[in-house]
Chains A and B, each alone.
Chain A
Amino acid sequence: MSTIERPQIRETGLLGQSVSIARRNFIHIKRMPEMLMDVTIQPVMFVLLFAYVFGSSIAVPIEGGYKAFLLPGIMAQTVAFSSFIVAVGLTADLEKGIVDRMRSLPINPAAVLVGRSFSSVAHSSIGLVVMSLTGLAIGWRIHTNILEALLGYALLVGWAFAMIWVGILVGSAMRSVEAVNGVMFATIFPITFLANTFAPTDGMPTWLRFVAEWNPISSLTQAVRVLWGNDYQLAEGAAFPMHHPVPFTIGWIVLLTATLAPLAIRTFRNRTAD
């Protein structure tokens, strides 16, 4: 190799670059399948634990009982947790200098984030499939039509997209994977419980019920329940979002994205530019 062959460097575009980076993240999952635990074993465990531990004491007047009521809630929680995946992956890449390596290449700097979003949504989607199969095995069914069924899934995936920005924000702000886990656990975990995800809100004290029913996660859960026929007559005094869960969920997805995306991108840029 004494005469140098300098190859043609082509413009690849944001999409192609993001796909290359997402593919790399998939190879990670292939090499470390335990990375999928958060969307496989963990939610399945939750489904079974809650269904059999609480199932007998929480009466829900719907077909399939508590198990059918629970499943959309667990799914909502799992897509909310998708921000974990993004944050942990991004922090690890920042820590190890992988992000700097990418930024030294002739690519769109956003490709690092978009690629991570792609793989994260795919990651969450795997979880939705696993949970649906688990649900089917224990008696959960969708009682509506295909269109509403798909809209339910679309809202869950849309939520996963909105949560990516939370992940980028936290991932860019934190200095270690441990810190990310700490922060995410301390915030997202209670938010997903202070809702209608695992127990009906009608029995809660008034102030708690108000908080729970205005919790965006409750809108998502209620929307999916309604779209799949896993809901029942709203109790007296249900908060406004519970009566219109689908538009509220779409509204939340748009609002969260619109406010968090610029903030997350700015934080990422500040973290990397200096």
Chain B
Amino acid sequence: MVTASVTHMTSPHAIEAVDLVKRFGETVAVDGVSFVVPEGSVLGLLGPNGAGKTTTVRMMTTLTRPTSGTARVAGHDVLADPAAVRRSMGLTGQAATVDELLTGRENLRLIGQLYGLDAGYIKRASDDLLERFSLSEAGDRIAKTYSGGMRRRLDLAVSLIATPPVLFLDEPTTGLDPRSRVELWEVLRELVEDGTTLLLTTQYLEEADQLADNIVVIDHGTVIAEGTPLQLKDQSGAAALVVTVSHADDLGRAEALLAPHVSDVHRDPGARQLTAPAEGLGHMTKVAALFDESGIVLDDIGLKRPSLDDVFLHLTGHRAEDNTDADEELIS
């Protein structure tokens, strides 16, 4: 399928980080990060502000030289052949780096020209991209007049003008309203369907859960967990069995009924809920039948998987959103 491209995959992995380290003076921003991203998949690099996500991306995209370690993009080493890396990838940085005084179309043309694409191709690809990112009508307006969501989309469109096989997105939806965020996710899913390999950094657990095939969690510059969203959820402990009774008066009776069948019960009168460690689907069915016989009316009974938020709390001991220490990201 790739005929005209100048880049050839010489490695089965689209992206490889090999023990990346970055020090800024005394500060260690990234401290030995390694991972691989198989071709055509999505990796979510998850972590709070200041965890070293941006610095890691900057090293992988040739913008910052690693203190030690290296990375390979589309088989090209960032240290040995940075030019080949740049030909193989697109980068959408944390701030939307579109030129505000240029129109959407002029932004695309500028970057297209710098890639050395010919004028006819740039014109066609620009039309395509503007359409795809719902910017057709705004294409001839200067980017200053765009909303935050439109700028993000233009920024992403610009990164795609040369159809790079590997795309790096640094917090692509930070600062977007929920609707724009969901729209951008849609666009990203289409890109992946088309065979693009994606690495995205995010502070949003939901975003990683939604988009990523694999997640690497980093905190204080080191990888603290990795796996599929499902694996990570499993890692942070078993699911919970949650029983919600219809009438608050029944809560005591329900607890007495449940207690002999589980190892531990937590009672939440406000939510009319009992929570217990789950012991599988069969067990839950048995418990449900018990309640059926007892005549206690339930609103709901089910298994609740831990959210990625719970995972993060479990792994780091602090919630992802709590961390406001943004200094390290700012250094880069």
Contact = CB atoms under 8 A, between A and B. Distances in A.
Interface of A: 1-12, 16-17, 20-21, 23-24, 27-28, 31-32, 96-98, 100-107, 111, 272-274
Specify the main secondary structure of chain B where it touches its partner.
loop
26 contacts: A1-B128, A2-B193, A2-B194, A3-B1, A4-B194, A4-B195, A6-B165, A8-B4, A9-B87, A16-B113, A20-B110, A20-B114, A24-B99, A28-B101, A97-B93, A97-B94, A97-B97, A101-B97, A103-B63, A104-B63, A104-B91, A105-B114, A105-B115, A106-B116, A272-B63, A274-B332
A118 to B, nearest CB: 15
B194 A1 contact: yes
A274 B64 contact: yes
Nearest to A105: B114
In the complex, which range does the number of interface residues on chain B fall in?
A: 35 or more
A12 B332 CA distance: 29
Given A4-B195, A17-B114, A101 B101 contact: no
Contacts of B196: 4
Contacts, number: 112
A273 B4 contact: no
Nearest to B83: A106
B97 A96 contact: yes
A147 to B, nearest CB: 38
Contact of B24 (A3, A98, A274): A274
Nearest to A12: B116
A27 B106 contact: yes
Given A6-B4, A11-B116, A107-B114, A98 B163 contact: no
Contact of A8 (B6, B63, B99): B6
A20 B113 CA distance: 7
Residue among B2, B91, B114 facing the most chain A CB atoms (10 A cut-off): B114
Residue among B2, B63, B158, B165 facing the most chain A CB atoms (10 A cut-off): B63
Nearest to A98: B97
Interface of B: 1-6, 24, 61-65, 83, 86-87, 89-91, 93-95, 97, 99, 101-102, 106, 110-111, 113-118, 121, 125, 128, 132, 142, 158, 162-163, 165, 193-196, 332
A32 B101 contact: yes
Given A6-B162, A97-B97, A107-B86, 6 more contacts: A6-B3, A6-B4, A8-B117, A9-B5, A24-B99, A97-B93
A186 to B, nearest CB: 27
A100 B113 contact: no
Nearest to B62: A104
A3 B165 CA distance: 13
A12 B113 contact: yes
Nearest to B110: A24
A9 B162 contact: yes
A3 B193 CA distance: 10
A6 to B, nearest CB: 4
Contacts of A5: 4, 163
A106 B110 contact: no
A241 to B, nearest CB: 42
Given A96-B97, A104-B91, A274-B24, A6 B5 contact: yes
Contacts of A1: 128, 132, 194
A27 B165 contact: no
B5 A103 contact: no
